[in-house]
Structure 1
C-alpha cells in the first residue's frame, strides 16, 4: 500500500468531468469516461431496461427485423394520384399530415396553414374562411401519413388530388408513397397557402405528374438505394443535403423524359423545375427509407425503431414489436443556425416525417459523409463525424449498402434499438430544417435535434408488458 502511493496515479473517472479535472490539476492522470445513468436517470426506464437486456426473444426478433430491413430493395415504379394510391382519400374529405396523430386545435401554425391550403387546392372551399368553417363543422378529418404507408416533409400534407411517388420493395411487393417536393420559398410544406402556392400545386398535379409518369414508362423502375449510396460518397447525407442525389437522379430521368412524346415546352418546364430544386430527391429518399423500414415492421418482440416523426408539437416513435402504436413526447428544441432576422422565439417545434431518414441510418446518422452540411446546420466537420460515430452506440448493426468515406468507408449505423438508447442515454440525432411558427413564413434556419428519451421509455414499457403476458 505504501508503494502504491509513491507511484504516479492514473484514475479512471466515471461521472462528472469536474472530478477528472481536479485530479489533473493536482498533477495526476485521469481518464474520463463518458457515462450517464441509464434512461437519463429515469427509474422506470432503468427497471424496464433491466428486464429486456439479453432477452432471447428480443435478440432473435431484432435479428429478423434487421435482416428484413437490409434485404429491402426500394424501387421507384410509378406516379399516381393520391386518391388512386390511397383509396381512403377518395372516400372522405380526409387529409394526411406529417408526424404522429394530433387534433386540429393542437396543431402548429404551419400544419394548419398547409391543411387550409390543401382544402383550397381540392376546391372543397373557395376561401380560407370557408375552409376553416369546414374544419370546425367536422367535415374534414386528419390522420398521419404513416397510417397509410406515406411520408411528407416538414408540414407535409397529402390530399386526394396530389401526385405521389410510388416506391415498391421488390423483395415483398409492399408499396409506400411520398408527395412531390415543391422547391423552396412560399410552399405548402411551410404552411403557405396563397394563390401562387395553389397554382404551383396544380401545375405539379397535372403537367409535372404527367411528365414524371411518362418518364417512368420509358425508363422502367429506378433503383433508389444505389443513388443514395453514391450520393453519400459525393457529399450528401440524403436528408438536408440532396444536391448529388438529385443530380444522379437527373442522369436517369433526362434520357427517358426526352424520349417521351410530350410537348417540348412541357419537358422544358419540368427540367427547369427539377434542376432548380436541390431538394427534389428528398421525398424519394424519404420514401426509400420508409420502404426499408416498413419491411422491418410487425416482428413480435423487436425493439427496433421503425418510425420517428414530428408534427410541430410532439415527437413520436413506433417499434417493430409494438405495431401501429405511437409513443409521443413534446418535441425537443432544435439547436442550429437561423437565417438573418430570425431566432429561437420565431421557430416552430421540430416538424415533419423526414426523420424517417435517420430512422433508416442516413441523414444525421450519415453526417460524416457530408462535412459541408455543418455550414447549414451548425457545428464543425469534426462534429459531423462524431455524430455518425456516436450513433453506433444505439443501433443493432450497420448497413453495408451505405458507407461513409470519412470513416474509412465504414457502413452507416442502422437499426435503432430502443434498449440501447436507454442503456447509453444517447439519443438519436436528427438534422432538420426549422420552420417559422407562423403559417407561410417558410424556413428560417436548420440545425440538430434529438428524439425525446421518454418516447423510448414508454415504448419499451409497452413491449415489456407484451412479452410478460
Structure 2
C-alpha cells in the first residue's frame, strides 16, 4: 500500500476539489495549486424522482432520438401570409407569448400589447374601451405555442397581422411568427400609441404583401443555413441578429425590388427591413420552434421542448410529457437600461424568444457573439463561461451550429431536465426588457434564468410516467 505513495510529496502538490469552497481557499492560502470542480447537491426534493427517472431504461435511447430529430430538422421560409389564413385565427382571438394566462394576471406589457392589437383590429376606438373589453373576457386569449407558433416579447398575434411561414420537410412540421416591428415603442414591448398602431397598419398593407411576393418569387429560403452561418459572423441568434438580417435581406432583395408595388412603397420596405437589426429574429425563432417540435412526443425523453414566458409566469414543456406546462414566477432580467430607466421599470421576463436557447443558440451561444455582452451587461469571460456551462445540462452538441472561439465546437443542444435537477445549473437566457407599465415599450436588455421550480415539477411528472416494473 505504501509503494504508490513513494515520492508523493517530493514535488509541489496539485489538488482537485469539489463541494464547499473553504477547503480550496485554505489550500490557496498555502500557495497550493487548486482545480476547483463546480458541484452542488441536486435540487432540493428531487432525489427520489431522479432515482426513478435515471433508472428508466427508455431514457438514453429516447434522449438520443430527441437530439437526432432536433438537429436534423429543417427550416425553410416558404411564405408570408395573414394570420387568419395561416393559423386559422378568427376575429376576436389573440395569441400571446408564454404559457396560458388570463387578463387578470397579465403583466403590463402583455396588457399593453393586447390593447394595441384590439385597436389595430378595429374592435375598439380607444385604449380605455379596449381595456374594458379585455377585462370583461370579450376575446379569446391563447398561447402562440398551442398553434405551433412563436411570438417575441408579449408575442401578441391578431388575425390581420402577417406572419412568416416556415417548413420542416424532414418531419412535416410548420411554424409561424409575426413580422418584426423594430425597436423602441413597439407592440411586442407593450406600447400601443397611435404611432404603434399606424406602423402595424403599414406593415399589414405594404410590408406583408411585398414580402409575400418576394418569398413566393424567390422560392424557399434556408433559414437553418443562415443560422449556422451567422454564428460564424458574430451573432448568437437571440439579441444579436445583424449578420442574419443582412443575409436574409440579400436573399430577398432581388425579388423584393421587382415586386408589384409603387417605387415609394418598395423603397420604404427595403429601408425598414435594412435598418432593423432584429429583422431576422422573427425567422430564427420559428426555425428553432421547428427544431424542438421534432422532439415532441417521445416517451421517456427528458429533453426540454419549450421555454416561454408571458411576463408573469415562465413555463417549460418536455419531450416526454406532451403539452403539459410546468410553471413558476418569471424572474426579472439583470442588465443594462436605456436612458433614464432602471431596475424598478423592468417587467419580469417575457416572450417566446427563449425558444432560441431551447434549440441551442441565443444565450447558449454567447461565446460566438462577444459583442452581445455590451448589450446585456456582461463581459467576454462571462460569455465564454456561460456557453461552456451549458454543456453540463444538455444531451449533445449541434453539428450545424458551431462556436469558432471554442474550436468550432457545436452549441450545447437539448436541455435535459435530469441534468438541470442534478447540477442545479439553470439555462442561460439573454433577452430584451419590457417596461413594467403598459404602454412604456423597451427599457433595456439583460440576462435571466428560468425559475428553478419548473424543473423539479417536470422531473416529478417524468417520474410518474415511468412504467411500473411490478
Structure 2 length-normalised TM: 0.95
Contact 2:161–2:204 at 8 Å: present in 1 too? Answer: yes
Q: Which stretches in structure 1 are left out of the alignment for 5+ residues?
A: none
Task: Give runs of aligned pairs for residues 436-455 of structure 1, distance below 5 A.
Answer: 436-455=435-454
**In the alignment, which residue of structure 2 is the partner of 1:216?**
215
CA offset at residue 262 of structure 1?
Answer: 2.4
In structure 2, distance between residues paired with 1:207 and 1:340: 32
Say yes or no: does 1:160 pair with 2:153: no
* 1:54 CA drift (Å): 5.2
Displacement, 1:137?
2.6
Q: Distance in 2 between matches of 1:238 and 1:415?
A: 17
SS of 1:20's partner is: helix
Structure 1: which 4+ aligned runs deviate by more than 4 Å?
1-11
Give the match for residue 50 of structure 1.
51
Structure 1 position 10, deviation (Å): 5.0
SS of 1:321 mapped into structure 2: coil
Contact 2:53 / 2:466 at 8 angstroms: preserved in 1? Answer: no
Is 2:337 the partner of 1:331? Answer: no
TM-superposed deviation, 1:27: 4.8
* 1:12 CA drift (Å): 3.6
Q: 1:332, CA displacement in angstroms? A: 2.3
- Change in Cα spacing, 1:134 to 1:229, as seen in structure 2 (3 Å) is same
SS, match of residue 342 in structure 1: coil
Match of 2:40 in 1: 36
Query: Secondary structure of the residue that 2:356 maps to in structure 1?
Result: helix
Query: How far does residue 4 in structure 1 lie from its aligned partner after superposition?
Result: 9.4
Superposed CA offset, 1:341-396 (max 9, x none): 22211110011000000000000111111000011012211211111111111111
The answer for the alignment partner of 2:123 in structure 1 is 124
Describe the SS at the equivalent of 1:411.
strand
Indicate if the aligned counterparts of 1:310 and 1:350 stay in contact, CA closer than 8 A: yes
Partner of 2:72 in structure 1?
71
Give the Cα–Cα distance (whole angstroms) in 1 for the partners of residues 133 and 31 of structure 2: 72
Measured in 1, the distance between the counterparts of 2:365 and 2:141 equals: 33
Specify the alignment match of 1:402 in structure 2: 401
For 1:315 and 1:136, the matched residues in 2 are separated by: 22
How many residue pairs get aligned? The number is 464
Uncovered stretches (5+) of structure 2, i.e. residues with no partner: none
Equivalence map 1:142-157=2 (5 Å): 142-157=141-156
- Once the two structures are superposed, the pairs formed by residues 176-325 of structure 1 within 5 Å of their partners are 176-325=175-324
Structure-1-length-normalised TM-score: 0.95
Q: After superposing the two structures, state which structure 1 stretch, 19-28 or 427-436, moved more.
A: 19-28
Quote the residue 1:415 is aligned against: 414
Contact 1:359 1:415 in 2 (8 A): yes
CA distance in 2, matches of 1:56, 1:405: 36
Report if the CA contact (8 A) 1:218-1:259 is conserved.
Answer: no
